[in-house]
């Protein structure tokens, strides 16, 4: 397996010894229904008023689908990246869904193959240096070419399920320092990995390691139409986005100015 096309670089043996066994929901009571999902989206929107409520709703739906498929435990934390926002803005939020807490709000880089300031191209192909969209489950940490890093497995077939083969990992990077925004108008870019500023990367990785969930969004027509991670109850991505944005408009929330794509 080639790792030259991704962000991982030279690796040491992963620290897998202390990895916990995935604890799955024992009953369907752990899986929120539509009303509970709506309340969850409203709560996340209160915690992160600068996040698009439609994106939060799609992330919550992907989390529900992961629970239904046995891909995550009910207490899994949820990170959301909105790649429709420029890298000059904080576009990563990490939530403790169970305890209704926003743990982090950070800048995050996208891949060189995805564009300059805003990511507009996405790929699941090794060597593309592009960001991949969809839901990921985090895995083990290791020390590689970019220091302390977090492996992720893509749960969206055809869109991010080559993440491990491509060495798409979360790591710290000098080019993800927001100080660069003042000089070049954007962050630097990775080889497809969600790279964070070096001062916070280890802390975020330690919160997100060991079978947590990360949802990467963009207004990409192919993924919105054919993505699998959020498609488990018959609703399509556009309707989920529109419903949540409509709720925010009717509620007079902070995201009232957001229009559906």
The reply to whether 261 falls in a domain is: no
The reply to whether 6 falls in a domain is: no
* Cβ-defined contacts of 246-250 (< 8 Å, 24+): 247/38, 247/41, 247/42, 247/53, 248/45, 248/53
Instruction: Indicate which CATH number applies to the domain containing 81.
Output: 2.40.440.10
The reply to whether 209 falls in a domain is: yes
Please give the helix or strand (H or E) that residue 106 lies within, else none.
strand 101-106
Give the model's confidence band at 169: pLDDT under 50 very low, under 70 low, under 90 confident, else very high.
very high
The reply to whether 18 falls in a domain is: no
* DSSP-based three-state secondary structure for 102: strand
* pLDDT tens profile 60-95: 999 999 999 999 999 999 999 999 999 999 999 999
The reply to whether 96 falls in a domain is: yes
The reply to whether 20 falls in a domain is: no
- Count Cα neighbours of 34 within 13 Å in the Cβ-side half-sphere: 7
Chain centroid offset of residue 19 CA: 21
The reply to whether 10 falls in a domain is: no
The reply to whether 187 falls in a domain is: yes
What percent of the chain is modeled with pLDDT above 90? 80
C-alpha span between 196 and 170 (Å, rounded): 7
- Split into its structural domains, the chain has a count of 1
Give me the pLDDT at residue 23, please.
44
The model's pTM: 0.87
Give the strand order in the sheet containing 101-106. 101-106, 92-96, 78-82, 213-217, 134-144, 147-154, 169-172, 195-196
Q: Are strands 213-217 and 78-82 parallel, antiparallel or unpaired?
A: parallel
- Does residue 20 carry a pLDDT above 70? no
Q: Domain range spanning residue 212? A: 29-251
C-alpha span between 187 and 53 (Å, rounded): 24
* pLDDT tens profile 97-152: 999 999 999 999 999 999 999 999 999 999 999 999 999 999 999 999 999 999 99
């Amino acid at each position: 397996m080639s790792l030259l096309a991704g962000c991982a670089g030279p690796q040491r043996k992963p620290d897998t010894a202390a990895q916990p066994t995935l604890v799955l929901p024992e009953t369907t009571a752990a899986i929120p229904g539509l009303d509970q999902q709506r309340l969850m989206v409203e709560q996340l929107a209160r915690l992160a008023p600068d996040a698009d409520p439609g994106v939060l709703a799609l992330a919550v739906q992907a989390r529900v689908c992961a629970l239904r498929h046995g891909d995550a435990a009910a207490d899994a934390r949820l990170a959301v990246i909105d790649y429709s926002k420029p890298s000059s803005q904080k576009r990563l939020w990490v939530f403790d869904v169970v305890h209704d807490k926003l743990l982090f709000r950070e800048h995050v880089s996208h891949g060189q193959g995805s564009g300059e300031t805003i990511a507009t191209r996405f790929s699941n192909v090794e060597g593309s240096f592009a960001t991949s969209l969809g839901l990921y489950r985090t895995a083990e940490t290791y020390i590689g070419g970019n220091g302390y890093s977090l492996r992720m497995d893509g749960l969206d077939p055809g869109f991010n399920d080559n993440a491990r083969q491509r060495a798409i990992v979360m790591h710290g990077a000098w080019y993800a320092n927001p100080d660069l925004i003042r000089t070049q108008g954007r962050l630097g870019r990775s080889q497809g990995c969600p790279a964070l500023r070096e001062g916070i990367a280890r802390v975020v990785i330690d919160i997100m390691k060991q079978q947590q969930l990360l949802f990467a969004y963009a207004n990409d027509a192919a993924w919105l139409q054919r993505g699998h991670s959020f498609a488990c109850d018959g609703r399509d991505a556009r309707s989920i986005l529109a419903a949540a944005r409509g709720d925010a408009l009717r509620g007079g929330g902070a995201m009232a100015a957001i229009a559906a794509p």
